[in-house]
Structure 1
Amino acid sequence: MIVSALKLRVAAIDDIAPSLRHLRLEAADGSALPPTGAGAHVLLSLPGAARTHRNAYSLVNPPGTRSGYDVIVRRVPTSRGGSATVHERLRVGDRLDAQPPGNLFAPVRPARHHLMIAGGIGITPFLSYLQDAGVRQTGASLHVCCRESEKDVFQPWLPDGADVRFHWDADGHRLDTAALLADQPAGTHLYVCGPSDLNDAVVRAAAAAGWPASQVHTEHFGGASAGGNAFEAVLHKSGLRLRVAEDESLLEALERAGVAAPCLCRGGACGVCITPVLDGEPEHRDHCLSPAERASGRLIMPCVSRARSPQLVLDL
C-alpha cells in the first residue's frame, strides 16, 4: 500500500486557458505545509473513474512557501486519467493525498547565469526559478516555446523585470536555438523542460556548440509510459502474475495489485523505482539508465518502461 504523508484540500480552481487549470492546494487541517524549493514537484493521488492515478506536478510557488501549493495542469486529450481528473472531476473542497515535495530539477547554485528553455507547460518549474532570490541575483533568462494564444497566460507568476521571451510557430517568432546557445557567458548552465522532441533537440544543439554535459540539465514530462502492447509481469518472489494493460504503466499495475513499489518522479528520471529483471526483454523509455544497463536487459524503470516480450519476470 502507498502511504501518503500529506492530506491536502483543493482551496481554489482557476481555468487560466481552455486547456490549462490552476489548482491551489492547502493542508486539509489548515497547518503549514513542508517548504518548497525552486524546481520542486509534488506527487498527487488523483481518484479516477476506475483507479487512482499518481501524477507529479511542478510547484509554481515562490521557494519557501508553506501556506499552500500551486500547480498548473494541462488537459491532455489522450490522458490516461491524471489530467482528466484534474479538469473534469476535481471541485473546490475535495481532499487529495500527496507526498511531500521532491526536487530533481533544482538550479545549480555555482552557475554564473541560468538559461532556461521551456516547451509549453514545461514552463512550470521555471516559474519557481524566477521567484528564487539566488537565481535572480545570479541572472536568469527564460525562453518559452508555446502557442501564441498562451503567451500571456503565465504573467501572474512572472516577477517584474524578469527576462522572459515567448516564441511560437510564425515567421519572426521562432526560437533560434543555435544562436541563443552561442550568445551566452562562460559558466552559464542550461535548463530545458518540455516534450522529448524539444528536450532532445536542445541537448543536441548544446553538444554541437561545445557545451559541457555537466552544464546541461533536462526535465521530461508526459507520455513516456503511454501506449504499447499489453504484457504479463511475473513477480518472482511472491509468484504474483499481473496483466499490464495497453493504457497503464508497469508501475500502475504494481500499485493496482497492492505492491508497495517505491517511486518519486514517475517520469523515468530519478532512478528510485529501478527494478531487477530476471527474464524477458524490457522496452526502455527512461532517462536514467546508462546504455550498458539498457543493453544488459537486467534492469527496468517501471514508471515509464514496458516489455518487448510477452512476459517480464521481475525480482519482486
Structure 2
Amino acid sequence: MNTLKLVVTAIDDTVGGIRTLTLADPDGNPLPSFTPGSHIVVECGGKANAYSLTGDGNSPTAYVISVLRCADGSGGSRWIHDELALGDTVAAGPARSAFAPVLRARRHLLVAAGIGITPMVSHLRSAQTWGRDVHLLYIHRQGRGAYLDTVAELGQHVSIHTERAAFSAELLAALADQPFGTHLYVCGPASFIDDVTGAATRLGWPDSRIHLEHFGSEALDPGEPFTTRVASTGEEFVVDAGVSLLEELERRGFEVPSLCRRGVCGECRLAVSAGTIIHRDLYLTDADKEAGDAVMSCVSRGGADTLEVAL
C-alpha cells in the first residue's frame, strides 16, 4: 500500500463531538484525485481508521475528513481529538471508494444519519458539477449535525431532520415514490442501515440498486469454526468461533502485516490457494471477492472446505 504523508493544516471543532481536519501535502503539491464516496485509512496513534473525504475530488490541494469522537471505540478517534495538533503529520493510505455513484442511475437518493453524512458530501459536490439528479435525507441529533450549511448549498433537494418520526415518514414516502432507475445510498450506524435497507427491500428495491457505506466491522458475529492450512509449512489447524484468522496465525508465530483489524485498510490481505471464503471485509471489491483468491484475515473466515493461505 502506497502511504501518503499528510500535514494537518486546519482543525475545526465547531460541531460538538466532531473534529474536522484539513490534510495537505507537506510540500504543497496537489494530492491524488478521488471518486465521490472515497475514504482514506489514517494511522491514528497505533490504530488505523477509515474516514470519508468530503472535499472536491478533482486535483485537490487538500483532503478534508471529519471524525466523530467514539468513547467506546478502539482509540483512534480519541487520539485524533486529544493528541493531534496543527502542524502534525499523519500517514494515510491512498483514497479508495466502494461507494461511488452509479453513473447510469436516473436519480441518486442519499440517506444518512449522524456522521454518515460525510461520504454524501462528495456525492453532492459531484452531482452539482455534473448536473445529476440527487435527493438527500439526513437525520442527526440536535446540535450534532455536520456539514449542514454545505449540504444546503450543494443540493436543491435536501431534507434535514432531528426528529425520528418525521424522518421515518418522509423516508418511507421517498422509498415508495422514486422513478425507475433510482439508486439508493445509505450511511450511518449499523442499526440505521439495517432499518433503511429493510424498508427498501420490503418496498421492492432490488439489491443491485442499494449501496451501503460502513466504517468498520466491529459488530460482526463470532462466525463458525473453520479449518486453515498454511501452504508453506503444511500446518493445519482450526480457527475457533470468535477468533480471527489473523489472531490465530499470530498466536502460532506467523507474521502478518496489519493495521485497522476491522476489514477496512487492506493491510492484512492474504493470498488464498484453495478453499472457500466468507468475505466480511469492507476493502475488497466485488470482483476481488468473486475471484476468491484473497482473504482479509482480520475479519473474513473460511467456509466448509479447508482454507489454504499462501504464507
TM-score range, shorter chain: 0.7 to 0.9
> Among 258, 268, 273, which residue is 2:269 paired with?
273
Amino acid at match of 2:43: S
Distance 1:264 1:111 in 2: 34
The verdict on how the C-alpha distance between 1:263 and 1:107 changes in structure 2, with shifts beyond 3 A counting, is: farther
How far off its partner does 1:94 sit?
1.0
Q: Deviations over 1:285-316 (max 9, x none)?
A: 547899xx9xxxx9853343479xxxx98553
How far off its partner does 1:5 sit?
2.8
Distance 1:85 1:235 in 2: 37
How far off its partner does 1:201 sit?
2.0
SS at match of 2:183: strand
SS at match of 2:109: strand
TM-score (norm 1): 0.75
**Residue matched to 1:160:** 153
Distance 2:169 2:255 in 1: 46
C-alpha RMSD of matched pairs (Å): 4.4
What fraction of aligned residue pairs are identical, expressed as a percent?
36
Note the 1:110-259 alignment, pairs <5 A.
110-133=104-127, 137-151=131-145, 153-158=146-151, 160=153, 162=155, 163-169=157-163, 171-224=165-218, 236-237=230-231, 259=256
Say yes or no: does 1:302 pair with 2:300: no
Distance 2:254 2:25 in 1: 29
Q: Are the aligned partners of 2:261 and 2:299 in contact in 1 as well (CA < 8 Å)?
A: no
**Residue matched to 1:36:** 34
Task: State the number of aligned residues.
Answer: 297
What stretches of structure 1 of length at least 5 have no aligned partner? Answer: none
Q: Are the aligned partners of 2:137 and 2:158 in contact in 1 as well (CA < 8 Å)?
A: yes
> Among 87, 98, 102, which residue is 1:93 paired with?
87
Distance 1:168 1:136 in 2: 30
Distance 1:157 1:278 in 2: 49
How far off its partner does 1:167 sit?
2.5
Q: Deviations over 1:255-311 (max 9, x none)?
A: 99753469999349x9993664989xx997547899xx9xxxx9853343479xxxx
SS at match of 1:57: strand
Distance 1:146 1:249 in 2: 34
Amino acid at match of 2:100: A
How far off its partner does 1:185 sit?
1.4
| Further displaced range: 180-189 or 136-145 | 136-145
**Residue matched to 2:12:** 14
The verdict on how the C-alpha distance between 1:114 and 1:42 changes in structure 2, with shifts beyond 3 A counting, is: same
Distance 2:228 2:260 in 1: 19
Amino acid at match of 2:269: C
